[in-house]
Structure 1
Amino acid sequence: MRVMYDEMVAQFVRVLHKHGITGDDADLSAKLFADASLEGVYTHGLNRFPKFIASIQNGSVKVHARAVCSESYGMLERWDGLQGPGNLNAWICMKRAIGLAKQHTVGIVALKNTNHWMRPGNYGHLACEHDCIGLLWTNTVPNMPAWGGTDAKLGNNPLVAAIPHDEGPVLLDVAMSMFSYGKLEKYKREGVLCPVDAGFDAQGNLSRDPAKVLETHQVLPIGYWKGAGLSLALDLIAATLSGGNSTCQIGKLPVETNLSQCFIAINLSSFPDRQALKRNIAATLEDLQASVCREEGTAVHYPGQGMQQVRKENLELGIPVDEGIWKSVLEA
């Protein structure tokens, strides 16, 4: 089943109005959800929307709160999300980091007390639209064991690196687990195995079965001990810079809220050799794409490249949706 983009946005806006998010904020929030699905990140678009509404209903998201600056240190600012909607808070903070970068070449906003930011690639796109490199990450509730451990002590702490490119940004958007929980839930609904090992089953064996991994909450860190170490480092940096909660502290709360996030923008327009930098990026990507995939025999793609074609197709034909989830939105 496919749904046209404008219809999806309109339904999101309608439901948001019912739950107290109105005006430009509702329009932006709806667009961020729909854009995720439009570009093929279905787990954090439509599929995530009912969970967002549930977080409003359980009180973890304060619909009228928005992030505010609490401390300023020149190119770095601390902001307090006041438990507002995570996607709106993230948009505000990424825009502010870009504004600081236009003043200082580098801008950093560290955010505390916020909620799940939905699809972080949206904010990487925003940085690239202003000719900035974007580096941003968040911590989460404990949902991943450290390598060698059996208890979830780390967050899967997604990281985005976005680099402007004339033919479409390089957009790396990855969790520190082999698969995000949203992706595991998608595979489970579809009744398919993960393409590679995703985590551990109840017997402690590596498994590609999403249902078994979701049951144990023992997801596999990317790169084993390297992913676990990177998760810990991202968590500590975000919590330290923002003065907010670490994953350990978030895990003691009744629900996942009061997260810590970091937004860094680097203004490439500040550099006098900007055109040379563009040529270097283009040459590097061209060299990468000259490689041939071992299995498919097609050209290698850089991160984010495929989104442009997915976006074009979904605008023309409509966005593929899970019928059950779409029905729940229509009935909300």
Structure 2
Amino acid sequence: MAQLTVGSATELAKSLLKAAGVPDQEADVTARCIVASDRWGIGSHGLMRLPFYLARLQAGGIKADAKLKVVTDLPSLVVFDGDDGLGHWQLQKAAEVAAERAAINGIAAVGVGRSNHCGALGIYVWPMINRGLVGIAFSTGPAVMPPWGGNSALLSTSPIAAGIPTNPPTVVDLATSAVARGKIQAKAQAGAELEPGWAFTKDGSPTTDAKEALAGMLAPLGGVKGYAIAVLVESLTGMLVGPSLAKDIPDMFASEQDANPQKISHFIIAIDSAKLSVDGENTRTADFSALVNAAGGRLPGANRSNPERPDNAENITITDSVADQLAQWSTKLGI
């Protein structure tokens, strides 16, 4: 295992992205979002993914100098065309716009279509949390889950994230598949077996082989209920924002598809929490947090550091395999 500081990891990621043609500001935001995943211990969505982004940037599947283009601009609804750009900086911008509009109008939603993978979805509820708002995020991706009772992949891992401004903040961040696909890729790179019940082969047989799972399908979280929630996520992203359904989204882990834009869609909702209460100002948020603690539990995501306020001296750990890949890309891009 290799150790880096948050500051050095962010600078390395930013330098690699800039060398691949990404403008300075977009590279900076993307690098911070990538490293935030590693800070949270979600290596499957952090620096492990950077070589895949770089390969897609070089091949043209991700447009390095993409610009967000306004498609719809209403007081409480904004929709952007992502121009095939990196999902990280685009969803961060969408969350900031949603927070600004919700602070004025009480609620706001922002969609981003024609985008790319954005890493850990929970990162993008923090622009709302940090402003005292509730944030909800949805995203789609390549089809890896079959419909309930079906035998072909039509749904992505269909992640959902939500942030509530409790103290400490509550952050719900989960895939509606039994496991995130990045975790399958991490297991494949490590040569490790999967937990039973996580995945199927492409023929629909249960498997614990990570490489077979990458070529196959994932099981839904909680059976039919997870499938139903996945349909909700696909509805709010691929169906309504578009332009692609999950079944038409290229797989970032398949190098032969690197030149094909993913055309992923994301959807953000921001709500002014102070305006929700039926009886005005109250202490129920603090009361509930105290009750959870008194019961011996903790709020979801309560141990996650604020991605908008990084500690550059903090250490993160990555596998030797990821460290070697980043070193190879540094040489390839002349850093």
TM-score w.r.t. the length of structure 2 is 0.86
Show the counterpart of 2:235.
236
Show the counterpart of 1:287.
291
> 1:6-45 maps to which residues of 2 (within 5 A)?
6-45=7-46
- Closer/same/farther in 2, CA of residues 243 and 127 from structure 1, 3 Å limit: same
Q: Deviations over 1:32-89 (max 9, x none)?
A: 1111111212111111111111111121111111212211233112211111111111
Show the counterpart of 1:226.
225
2:328 equivalent to 1:331: yes
- Closer/same/farther in 2, CA of residues 50 and 212 from structure 1, 3 Å limit: same
2:265 equivalent to 1:260: yes
The answer as to whether partners of 1:72 and 1:78 remain within 8 angstroms in 2 is: yes
Stretch of structure 1 that moved more, 320-329 or 242-251: 242-251
**Structure number with higher helix proportion:** 1
Show the counterpart of 2:152.
151
2:304 equivalent to 1:307: yes
Show the counterpart of 2:170.
170
Question: Where does the alignment leave 5 or more consecutive residues of structure 2 unmatched?
Answer: 330-335
Partners of 1:250 and 1:330 in 2: CA distance: 29
Amino acid at match of 1:172: V
Q: Deviations over 1:99-156 (max 9, x none)?
A: 1101111010111111111222111122101111111111112111112222111111
The answer as to whether partners of 2:274 and 2:281 remain within 8 angstroms in 1 is: no
- Closer/same/farther in 2, CA of residues 211 and 285 from structure 1, 3 Å limit: farther
Q: Secondary structure at the match of 1:331?
A: helix
Compute the displacement of 1:3 (Å).
1.1
2:127 equivalent to 1:126: yes
Partners of 2:242 and 2:52 in 1: CA distance: 27
The answer as to whether partners of 2:242 and 2:264 remain within 8 angstroms in 1 is: no
Q: Deviations over 1:140-199 (max 9, x none)?
A: 1211111222211111111111111222x1111111111111111223334444455202
Q: Secondary structure at the match of 1:7?
A: helix
Partners of 2:24 and 2:203 in 1: CA distance: 51
The answer as to whether partners of 1:140 and 1:256 remain within 8 angstroms in 2 is: no
Partners of 1:188 and 1:101 in 2: CA distance: 42
Compute the displacement of 1:222 (Å).
0.8
Question: Where does the alignment leave 5 or more consecutive residues of structure 1 unmatched?
Answer: 292-298
Partners of 1:230 and 1:323 in 2: CA distance: 36
Q: Secondary structure at the match of 1:145?
A: coil
Partners of 1:8 and 1:174 in 2: CA distance: 25
Partners of 2:227 and 2:248 in 1: CA distance: 18
Identity %: 21
The answer as to whether partners of 1:2 and 1:319 remain within 8 angstroms in 2 is: yes
TM-score w.r.t. the length of structure 1 is 0.87
> 1:314-325 maps to which residues of 2 (within 5 A)?
318-325=315-322
Partners of 1:317 and 1:104 in 2: CA distance: 38
The answer as to whether partners of 1:78 and 1:241 remain within 8 angstroms in 2 is: no
The answer as to whether partners of 1:288 and 1:300 remain within 8 angstroms in 2 is: yes
Show the counterpart of 1:296.
none
Q: Deviations over 1:271-303 (max 9, x none)?
A: 576751xx3123223333444xxxxxxx43321
Partners of 2:299 and 2:195 in 1: CA distance: 20
Amino acid at match of 1:323: D
Partners of 2:250 and 2:173 in 1: CA distance: 24
Partners of 1:58 and 1:282 in 2: CA distance: 50
Compute the displacement of 1:251 (Å).
6.2
Compute the displacement of 1:262 (Å).
0.7
